[in-house]
Homo-oligomer: A and B are copies of this chain.
Amino acid sequence: MAQKTSIPKGTRDFSSAEMARRNYIFDTIKGVFARFGYSQIETPAMENLGTLLGKYGEEGDKLLYRIQNSGEKAALAPEKGLRYDLTVPFARFVVQHRGELSFPFKRFQIQPVWRADRPQKGRYREFYQCDADVIGSRSQLCELELVQMVEQVFAALDIRVLLKINNRKLLTGLAEICGFPERVVDITVAIDKIDKIGLEAVEAEMMEKGLSADAVAVLRPILLAEGDFASKMELMRGLMNGGSASGIVSQEGLRGLDEIDELFGLISAAGVKLPVELDLSLARGLNYYTGAIFEVKALDWQIGSICGGGRYDNLTGIFGLPDVSGVGISFGADRIYDVLCGLEKYPAGLESGAQLLFANMGATEVHSILPLAAALRSEGISTEVYPESGKLKKQFDYAQSKGIAFISINGENEIAAGTINIKNLSSGEQKSFPATDTEAILEYLRG
């Protein structure tokens, strides 16, 4: 009995058409990474389980795919798991190969990752990540570079986006001046809700979560703040400097403001045209970010963030290399794919097949065109020879379905006359060439 054909839930086959679009995205991103001097690395799909465990929180540990050891010495071999993201394997790579790398080390990596998540629309168990990181420098020029790469990738893809920036040190500062240094998450969530539910509801929620009335009062000026970037920064500098209701000074908060100031200064000096916004409610991946935090939203299509990242000060510490700061960004290829589909922004001709199909009019006829087909291919013309002689209708349908531009039909008569017929399948135009005039044929096919 025949076996049922299916693939595991949450995984996907990619057809030729989908691959053409995916490659367009990957190639665009790769091109930008290369233009900024990032070079590609790859790591194995499997890592020793110890490398992965405990790096993604309790929830993450549960979502790791574990691989059964096989063979005789299975019991002795370390357990293995599938890569859950590209960041932890990258940290492991940096530590393991630190002797061979020149720092600051700028790498990019485009590989699939696996998560045993509940599959749902837009969430897969196997998906690609496209990451660029620079490790070994604390300079805000690294952050600038990532901002510029975001600008160039989305300009090349013709997607209008907004880049939101925040800084973990500033969030820490807010929690410190409230007198609740451990409540960074609650405070960030509260700030995030101010536009939706208003001041009273936000303050009620914070009190419910156990913040004191005094703490809430410290945050009030920020929740109410209006005005431009400069005036907000001035307000926060005053608060961090002991000017809040609590009077607490936060050195960490002040450092955060300095970093934001410096980065926005660099962004302006470099002439970045991408819309960039300071967003105090941005807090993705709080557990390992220690400085800048980035997130990119598409302006013309409703979808979650399509790119994100930030600075981490101690990612390699767990593997024995402390005090190496890095900053990175990750592009969400699957969501970018959906945005480009939704906005119909894929360039024309991505999915086109070969340039030319030689129809098959029988064994003798095929023999006579084989050298020409070979010559055209050596000149870079993508060329097919239909393998079966048979109904021309079927051969035309084949050309149509594959998006082939030209068809060449040469029967007995053409061969006797020493000519080659070529038909343009979109215009219907038909031309005849001396079979020996490869130059003229090339010129015609190249348009």
Q: Which among A4-12, A160-168, A333-341, A432-440 touches the partner chain? A: A4-12
Contact partner, A48, options B6, B116, B118, B377, Cβ 8 Å: B6
Q: Which among A34-42, A212-220, A248-256, A287-295 touches the partner chain? A: A34-42
| Chain B residues, Cβ within 8 Å of A5 | 51, 92, 95-96, 319-320
| Chain B residues, Cβ within 8 Å of A373 | 270
For this complex, into which size category does the number of interface residues on chain A fall? 35 or more
Question: Is A384 part of the contact surface with B, judged by Cβ < 8 Å?
Answer: yes
Which chain A residues (40-64) contact chain B, with CB distance < 8 Å? Answer: 40-48, 50-51, 62-64
Is A63 a contact partner of B68 (Cβ separation < 8 A)?
Answer: no
Is B354 a contact partner of A3 (Cβ separation < 8 A)?
Answer: no
Number of copies of this kind of chain in the complex: 2
| Chain B residues, Cβ within 8 Å of A20 | 39-40
Question: Is A141 part of the contact surface with B, judged by Cβ < 8 Å?
Answer: yes
| Chain B residues, Cβ within 8 Å of A134 | 387
Question: Is A374 part of the contact surface with B, judged by Cβ < 8 Å?
Answer: yes
Is B48 a contact partner of A78 (Cβ separation < 8 A)?
Answer: no
Question: Is A208 part of the contact surface with B, judged by Cβ < 8 Å?
Answer: no
Query: What distance in Å separates the Cβ of A111 from its nearest Cβ neighbour in chain B?
Result: 9
Q: Which residue of B lies closest to A50 (CB)?
A: B3
Q: Which residue of B lies closest to A139 (CB)?
A: B387
**B-facing mask of A343-386, CB < 8 A → 1, else 0?**
00000000001100100100000110011011001101111110
Is A353 a contact partner of B37 (Cβ separation < 8 A)?
Answer: yes
Is B45 a contact partner of A45 (Cβ separation < 8 A)?
Answer: yes
Question: Is A70 part of the contact surface with B, judged by Cβ < 8 Å?
Answer: yes
Q: State A45–B115 Cα separation when bound (angstroms).
A: 12
Question: Is A402 part of the contact surface with B, judged by Cβ < 8 Å?
Answer: yes
Contact partner, A102, options B93, B107, B397, Cβ 8 Å: B397
- Whether A13 contacts B41 in the complex (CB less than 8 A), given A3-B51, A6-B48, A92-B5, comes out as yes
Is A116 a contact partner of B380 (Cβ separation < 8 A)?
Answer: no
Is B9 a contact partner of A77 (Cβ separation < 8 A)?
Answer: yes
Q: State A92–B5 Cα separation when bound (angstroms).
A: 6
Contact partner, A377, options B9, B35, B118, Cβ 8 Å: B35
| Chain B residues, Cβ within 8 Å of A145 | 385, 387
Is B13 a contact partner of A40 (Cβ separation < 8 A)?
Answer: no
Contact partner, A370, options B97, B266, B321, B388, Cβ 8 Å: B266
Question: Is A230 part of the contact surface with B, judged by Cβ < 8 Å?
Answer: no
Query: What distance in Å separates the Cβ of A129 from its nearest Cβ neighbour in chain B?
Result: 14
- Whether A78 contacts B8 in the complex (CB less than 8 A), given A141-B366, A319-B2, comes out as yes
Extra pairs beyond A11-B45, A23-B40, A148-B374 (12, CB < 8 Å): A3-B320, A8-B77, A9-B77, A11-B46, A37-B383, A37-B404, A65-B70, A139-B387, A141-B360, A265-B367, A269-B371, A270-B374
Residues of A within 8 A of B (CB): 2-9, 11-16, 19-20, 23, 34-37, 39-48, 50-51, 62-71, 77-78, 80, 82, 92-93, 95-97, 100, 102, 104, 106-107, 112, 114, 116, 118, 126, 134, 137, 139, 141-142, 144-145, 148, 152, 265-266, 269-272, 317-321, 353-354, 357, 360, 366-367, 370-371, 373-374, 377-378, 380-385, 387-388, 397-398, 401-402, 404
Which 6 residue pairs spanning A and B have beta carbons closest together? A2-B320, A11-B44, A16-B39, A37-B354, A139-B387, A37-B384
